Structure 1
Amino acid sequence: MRSTFFRLALLAVALSPIAFINGATAQAKDQPAAWKPIAIQLKAKTDAVFPLKKPYCPFSGKRNGIIRVAAQLSRLTGIKTASGTSSVTFKTNGSGTVLLAVVHGAEPKDKNARLLIENGLTITEMAPVDIYGVPCHKGWNTVATGPDTFVAGVVENTAAASKLNAQLPDGREWRAYLTDSLTDGKQLFEVLDAPADPVINQGMPGTETIQGGFEGGTCVKVGNKYHLFPTERAGEMGVPAYYDRVKTRIGHWESEDAIHWKRVGTIYQASGKYAIAEEDNPMNDRRAAIWSYNAVFNQKEDRWYGYYLTYTVDKNIAPNHSFGRIWCTKSQTKGMNGIGGPYDDGQLIMEPGLDSQPWEGRQGVASFYPFPVKDGWLGFYAGAYPFKTWADYPKNSGKGWYIGLAKAQSMDGPWTRLDTTVNPVKSMNPEFLENPLVYQLKNGAYIAIFDGGPDDNGHHFVNMFGYALSKDGLHWNEARYLPIQNKVKQWWNLMRTPLCLIPEGNNVYTVLYAAINNNRFHPIGMVRFKMHPEVLEELLKEK
């Protein structure tokens, strides 16, 4: 199932992300015209309509979600029937063609069905889905479905004289995921509102010297003011996009409403210098790239701590970010209002060494976020491009983006990695989890919010940010993902990293997030959610 994933992922390393994205956009302009839908009225209250687009789940009682849709089907409305149902009855105001989505290897039950589009849909963990057409008349119609068949829409009589092949990829390249409100009906977070456009975008004041936009980091609220510490993919004027992720810096932005932002300073600036040796050599600049500044308030010390990541950067080895190190700095000004610093470089608290674990890979340690637990502190730290054994060090790395746990008696450390009976923590997601931020909720439980991974360049992940829950901070439930694009205007094509989960009162939360559109500059968006406490309690009972 994963062989194609790995081949495509390795190929993607050599591609410029902006060229790949723009190439995909150019190809989309040449897609065939969408077929014109006919409105339908359902008879059974247990049936429901849904837009035929990702990440909707067309089968009741399953978590398999739509990933790709042929251009001809892009305007259609499908029908989701109750579990165990073998047919669906609906009414139309004119004659046309019912489109049946049939998983490859199954056969449509209607003897009048004609194959129209091969490989017309991609659904997670399922073989390619073919589209058949069945004539329907004005008024009520009943069409046979089944466990591997659903109605993908009703259209005016299609002009297709012969079958087409949309050549969409095999859905078994993707894992099926839990998606709020779509897979099992459970919805912890309800989207309340979001701006129609990014809140920080290219051309806005403060972005003049940022070539590539933003990535991971954190946002906190002090009093009535929001403080954002994003990784700025600064790059260099006149240098192509590849350098944006090398010469980075940590910025400090402020806002009164999380929508209108003002840049107020730079916390750290990376050197952007490439390594002179492939191994983790002290002659390399180990602060060549700086990422993922996470601000956490230490109540005992009454000051802000900042945890951030530095990399060695190598031109010749994928990933070019290598041998991550975690630093902890402290605001020299005490109190909550010391959030703006000043900060020094801080102390090194985690790095590659004799206690490293092979799953941390060439990129680890790749982020760090601490949180208090009953007997001290735990902290999520990350790794990527794992080694199967230490004999593979330093070049022969695999694929995988993982997190593990470290422990300490206080935020000051020393921090000790938990052993490999715990690490990496795969209960949330066994393949991809990046930049988790952890918050303790009012009922004492923990929630982690994180990047769910891009569905791009051969990386076949969810393309949504996700969350997971824990009662004790050590044992974590399976991740769930938030399809905010179903409720707000989608300005991005690749969703990346959430930067906060800020409580606003009355179970309302603010999330800032970094995402990628079709441009070199990666903007920051904002969305507000309402949490449903009764769903929280239900989810915490799950194992």
Structure 2
Amino acid sequence: MMNYRSLFFNISVLFVVTASFNAAAQEMPVTLKPVTFNVKPSQGYTFRLMNPCYPFTGSKNAIIRLAPALTELTGVRSNDASNAVQLKFPSSVNVLIALPQGLQLHTANTQLVIDSAFTVTGLPPYSLYKVPYKKGWQNVSYESKEGFIAGVIGADQQLSMQSAHLPDGRLWRPYITDGLTDGHRLFEIIGGPDKPVIDEGMPGTEGVQGGFEGGTCVKVGNTYHMFPTERAGEIGVEPYYDRVKTRIGHWESPDAIHWKRVGTIYQASGKYAIAEEDNPMNDRRGAIWSYNAVFNEKEDRWYGYYLAYTVDRNIQPNHSFGRIWCTKSQTKGMEGIGGPYDEGQLIMEPGLDAQPWEGRQGVASFYPYPVQDGWLGFYAGAYPFKTWADYPKKTGTGWFIGLAKSASMDGPWKRLDTTVNPVKSINPEFVENPIVYKLQNGAYITVFDGGPDGGAHHFPNMIGYTLSKDGIHWSEARYIPLHTKVKRWWSTMRTPLCLLPEGDNVYTIVYAAYNQPNKRFRPMGMVKVKMDPAVLEELLKGL
């Protein structure tokens, strides 16, 4: 699993804010009240200001930060590149127009009201201007293809100059949000509980100080079986130890909402390393993570692939030199999902065939899937070495995945070469804990942790997915905006544990998330989505 540093890098941003901005900051209302208006249909359409939202037609540039006072407003997205749109107002109004810093409006009576009002991925900070317009149909111009109309408020509503101090959007790589960026919505979000399905204090969480992280969830008959990483830790020991003393739990549920803990599959030693390098004197099962359950039809039994780490006290990432183990259920058939399982055999580890991008943390997860001539498996790495001369301390940043190949699930597994690995077509900076499914039409879909947005990390903070026709070549990532249909109880979205088919193109996703930035216990959530087969075929055509 990923070991986040407290800081990627130091960024010094100088905001030049006038004294009048600071003096007036307290005068601004909590939220601005929008005025209802009409848009000439042939010229544009409206969108609600939220995180994220898309102010440009056919563009991946998304608003991901906005001044709090703007959250109730309605923006206007133009249908073309004319940089103007006709709007009808019921009375005299102020139109709020956003432009990137360095550009200015030349319309009469324009006034700058909020500096750094928006963060837009891939673009400089945006400033907000107000422009007065009279009642009736008016031609509203924002003069630049990078500008947009951010809202309409009453002419009498006070809005004093200030700065929102929002960060530069160029720290974020633009990305595709399913259904919002390009009009293709593969997943309709049906809904789910507006709170965690497993949270602190619920039965079964006794002895789990830090909550949960990735793993898998499968369905056998009418029962869901979940194998999460339990951040067990110890009472009275600092929260970081939750990530060291871990265990793989087994939970069951009739509906993916009400869960009962039924046992422990593996327990980590919780011991720290005694040497900085990958030394056999270290306890190589100091922490255990990422149990992925996959049914082997040929052997008629469940296989479990899991990750064991050496844990260093002082060197980032503290989770180091990951090794993948494969275990088999001792009971044949689908009903053997509950085990018992033995310790299994080592199938992949750092060694002479490792690649520098796997870094100090690799091998960091493993998930196999069938292809035409055998099996492929996604395996992960993080904190890469630029060259092997950087081993073992000098690491870079990035969370990557690559492919290994085998004739069978039993291995041996051979890494594909660096003309394929790492697989950066999905996202060149962050893909973690991928879980792969073969669809009925023969294509593949992978769901994965899309990465956090916060704490100096600049990622989508949504569950991601990618598509493939052959299991080797994968599409650019698309991210699922659960918060547009489900009450957002989480602050940071983490790892999906499944994409389980329920019939009629409906799927269940169980996921790990953080519901408060400083809360020690990390809960589990659930949501249902519906796949659109027509959109799937359209997306596959583009591969």
Question: What residue number does 2:393 align with?
Answer: 395
Paired with 2:83 and 2:300, the residues of 1 have a C-alpha distance of: 63
Once residues 27 and 132 of structure 2 are traced to their aligned partners in structure 1, the CA distance between those partners, rounded to angstroms, is 29
**Which deviates more from structure 2 when the two are superposed, residues 492-501 or residues 47-56?**
47-56
1:114 to 84, 108, 111: 111
The CA deviation at 1:246 is 1.2
For residues 30 and 234 of structure 1, do their structure 2 counterparts lie closer, same or farther at Cα, with a shift above 3 Å needed? farther
The within-5 A match list for 1:352-501 is 352-501=350-499
Q: Distance in 2 between matches of 1:182 and 1:318?
A: 37
The number of residue pairs the alignment matches comes to 522
> Partners of 2:112 and 2:8 in 1: how far apart?
33
The 5 Å alignment of 1:73-152 reads 73-145=70-142, 146-152=144-150
- Gaps of at least 5 residues in structure 2 are 12-25
- The Cα of 1:521 is off from its aligned counterpart by 1.1
Query: 2:5–2:316: 8 Å Cα contact kept in structure 1?
Result: no
Measured after TM superposition, the shift of residue 117 of structure 1 is 0.8
C-alpha displacement at 1:109, in angstroms? Answer: 4.4
Equivalent residue number for residue 158 of structure 2 = 159
TM alignment of 1:248-327, pairs within 5 A = 248-327=246-325
Aligned to 1:208: 206
Q: CA deviation at 1:45?
A: 4.9
- Aligned partners of 1:37 and 1:444: how far apart in 2? 48
Change (3 A) 1:415 1:184: same
Q: Tell me the equivalent position of 2:520.
A: 520
Write the distance in 2 (CA, Å) between the matches of 1:334 and 1:46: 63
In the TM superposition, residue 182 of structure 1 has moved relative to its aligned partner by 0.9
Contact 1:106 1:148 in 2 (8 A): no
Unaligned 5+ residue runs, structure 1?
13-28
1:542 corresponds to which residue?
A: 542
Residues 110 and 143 in structure 1, CA contact (< 8 A), matched pair in contact too: no
Answering whether residue 55 of structure 2 is matched by residue 55 of structure 1, we say: no
Aligned equivalents of 1:65, 1:218: Cα separation in 2: 31
**Normalised TM-score (structure 1):** 0.93
1:57-113 per-position Cα deviation (integer Å, ceiling 9, x unaligned): 100121100111112212222111112232222234443321101112222242322
For the residue of structure 2 that corresponds to 1:9, the secondary structure is coil
The percentage of counterpart residues that share the same residue type is 66
What corresponds to 2:349 in structure 1?
351
The answer to which of 63-72 and 416-425 deviates more is 63-72
In structure 2, C-alpha distance between the alignment counterparts of 1:456 and 1:343, rounded to whole Å: 38
Q: 1:256 to 1:46 in 2, by over 3 A?
A: farther
Q: What is residue 341 of structure 1 aligned with on the other side?
A: 339
41-50 or 180-189, which moves further after superposition? 41-50
Return closer, same or farther for 1:382/1:333 CA change in 2, 3 Å cut-off.
Answer: same
1:138 shift after superposition: 3.8
CA distance in 1, matches of 2:105, 2:98: 9
Q: Which residue of 2 aligns with 1:35?
A: 32
Query: Normalising by the residue count of structure 2, what TM-score does the alignment of the two structures yield?
Result: 0.93
1:160-207 alpha-carbon deviations (Å, 9 max, x no partner): 44x211111110000000111111100111111211111111111111
Give distance in 2, aligned partners of 1:263 and 1:6: 32
| Partner residue, 1:16 | none
Deviates more, 1:329-338 or 1:529-538: 529-538
Residue 125 to residue 377, structure 1, CA distance change in 2 (3 Å): same
| Whole-angstrom distance in 2 between the partners of 1:94 and 1:210 | 59
User: Is 1:231 paired with 2:257?
Assistant: no
Q: C-alpha distance in 1, partners of 2:400/2:100?
A: 32
Given residue 483 of structure 1, which amino acid in structure 2 is its aligned partner?
P
> What letter matches 1:531 in structure 2?
M
Instruction: Provide closer, same or farther for how the CA distance between residues 452 and 303 of structure 1 changes in structure 2, counting only shifts above 3 A.
Output: same
- Asked if the contact 2:28/2:159 (under 8 Å) is kept, the reply is no
AA partner of residue 60 (structure 1):
T
Cα distance in structure 1, aligned partners of 2:63 and 2:140: 22
The alpha carbon displacement at 1:153 in A equals 0.8
Find the residue that maps to 2:8 and give its secondary structure. helix
Comparing 380-389 with 452-461, greater Cα deviation is found at 452-461
What is the CA deviation profile of residues 389-420 of structure 1, one whole-angstrom value per residue up to 9, with x for unaligned ones? 00000000000000000000000000000000
Amino acid at match of 1:540: L
What RMSD, in angstroms, separates the aligned Cα atoms of the two structures? 1.9
Distance (Å, rounded) in 1 between the aligned partners of 2:135 and 2:526: 45
C-alpha separation between the residues in 1 aligned to 2:108 and 2:527? 48
Deviation of 1:32 (Å):
6.7
Q: Write the deviation string for residues 404-446 of structure 1: whole angstroms up to 9, x where unpaired.
A: 0000000000000000010000011100000000000000001
Aligned to 2:506: 508
Cα separation, 1, equivalents of 2:29 and 2:477: 36
Q: Distance in 2 between matches of 1:214 and 1:365?
A: 20
Residue 520 of structure 1 and its aligned partner are, at CA, apart by 1.6
Is residue 108–residue 149 contact of structure 1 (8 Å, CA) maintained in 2? no
Residues 127 and 260 from structure 1, CA distance in 2 versus in 1: closer, same or farther, beyond 3 angstroms? same
Q: CA 1:105–1:136 in structure 2 vs 1: closer, same or farther (change >3 Å)?
A: same
**In structure 1, distance between residues paired with 2:336 and 2:106:** 68
| 1:317-362 per-position Cα deviation (integer Å, ceiling 9, x unaligned) | 1111000000000000000000000001100000001111000000
Q: For 1:32 and 1:266, locate their aligned partners in 2 and report how far apart those are by CA, in whole Å.
A: 53
Post-superposition offset of 1:158: 4.2
Taking the aligned partners of 2:347 and 2:50, their CA distance within structure 1 comes to 45
| Greater Cα offset, 190-199 or 399-408 | 190-199
Question: In the aligned structure 1, how far is the partner of 2:256 from the partner of 2:541?
Answer: 34
- Does the C-alpha gap of structure 1 residues 415 and 540 become closer, same or farther in structure 2, counting only changes over 3 Å? same
Aligned to 1:530: 530
What SS is found at the alignment partner of 1:172? helix
The whole-number CA distance in structure 2 between the counterparts of 1:251 and 1:531 is 30
Contact 2:85 2:139 in 1 (8 A): yes
